[in-house]
Each structure stands twice: as C-alpha cells, then as structure tokens.
Amino acid sequence: MSGGNAVSARRTEGRGEALREGLAAVSYPTIGHFLEDGFVDPAVRSLLDGVKVAGPAVTVRIADCDAYAMNRALLELYPGAVLVVDMSGDHRHAPVGAVTAAAAAAQGAAGVVVDGVATDILELRATGLPVFARGTSCLTTKRVRSGGSAVNVPVQCGGIRVRPGDWVLADDNGVIVLSPQAAAEVLGRALASDAAEPALLARIAAGEPLESVLAI
C-alpha cells in the first residue's frame, strides 16, 4: 500500500471507530425523535435484558430451512459485526441456538438479529451474546441446502432493507438499521438531545411548571 493510500485507510478507519463510539453512547430512542425510517418491526426484540449493540451488518438470507447458509455466514463475521438473518418469511424454524451463538461470539460478533425465532434460550442467555428475534421455538432449520440462500447480500429484516455494512443499533427498546451516512448525519443531533435531557428532568423534579419546561 502506498503512503497516500495508507494515510487514507487510517483516516477511514478512524472515522469508523469514532462513529462506532458515538453510536454506542447515544440513546437509541433519541434517534426516533429525528428519523422515521430504519426502525425494524418491534416484534423483533431482545431475548436478553440490559443489552446494547452497535455494529456493521453481516447479512444472510436463509431459504427452505437451509442450516448450512447460517454456517457460511458465521465464517464471514468479524469483531464488532452484527449478524442479520433474513428467514425469507419463515417465523417457525429457528436458525440460531447454542452452537450458533457460541460460534458468533467466538468470531467477536456484537450480536445477532433474526427476522424469525431462536432456540436454546437458556444457553443463549448464558453466552451473553445479544440476540434479537420474534420469539423462541423448538423447531429448527435443517441440514439441507437451498439455492435461494445467500450471504452478504441485501436482505429484509422486520420490514427494513439491510445491506452489508449498514449500522445495526439495538437495545431493549428495539432495532434500528441505518446506512453509514444516515448514522453519521443523525448522531450529532441525537447526542445533543441526550445532553440536554438531564436538565429537563431536573427542572421537572424540582417542581417547575410544566408549561415552562415542555415545548407546547
């Protein structure tokens, strides 16, 4: 790599890390004050309590209960990534369980988001890996292969289009998916709003008349 390219790569990496740190710090519901798009169906919820995830998406589309597709996706994970699983409308077969979660954690994944169900809930909780899903099931994917499955392609998750590299923000409140540009654009406003909130809460707690505190 030439000197100029190396400098450019370091700058890009630095901007990405700064964005990650900012997104990890912001309150995700605050983003909902400013944006209307990118919010995953609220039926996709955290299976663990007290989690917060911010990371770029690695995606997989699973068709026809294809368990091998999930294995291929696991090999594509890297530290800090969030695995987003499109089940092609199948909300009965679980693609994520104890082994899957352990493998994702071993790859350094920040979390897993499934537009479907998961299994092995006790084992999932024991790993501590944040998993977001529509619920749980004992019915799982199978050792079959499908030509309709694909890894690191645009997918659908809870009504939202997710592209590899999109930022996935998820906590106990829900899941948001934003392009890197959209995430960078909203971050400053959201952080400023978060910074102003404690003073508003203090004024309310002090008994200040609400008409002087709230925007009406």
* pLDDT average, residue stretch 89-111: 97
Q: What is the pLDDT of residue 14?
A: 55
Per residue in 168-199, pLDDT (tens digit) is: 999 999 999 999 999 999 999 999 999 999 99
Tell me the one-letter amino acid at 80: G
CA–CA separation, 72 and 108 (whole Å): 16
- Predicted model pTM: 0.90
* pLDDT average, residue stretch 194-205: 96
Write down the mean pLDDT value for the chain.
Answer: 93
The residue assigned the tokens 């009965």 is 92
For the four alpha carbons of 33, 180, 50 and 43, in that order, the dihedral sign comes to positive
| Rg value, the chain, Cα | 19
Q: What is the pLDDT of residue 17?
A: 85
How far CA 67 is from CA of 102, 152, 163, 214, in Å, comes to: 16, 16, 21, 52
> Over 60: is that where the pLDDT of 3 sits?
no
State the CATH class of domain 37-179.
alpha beta
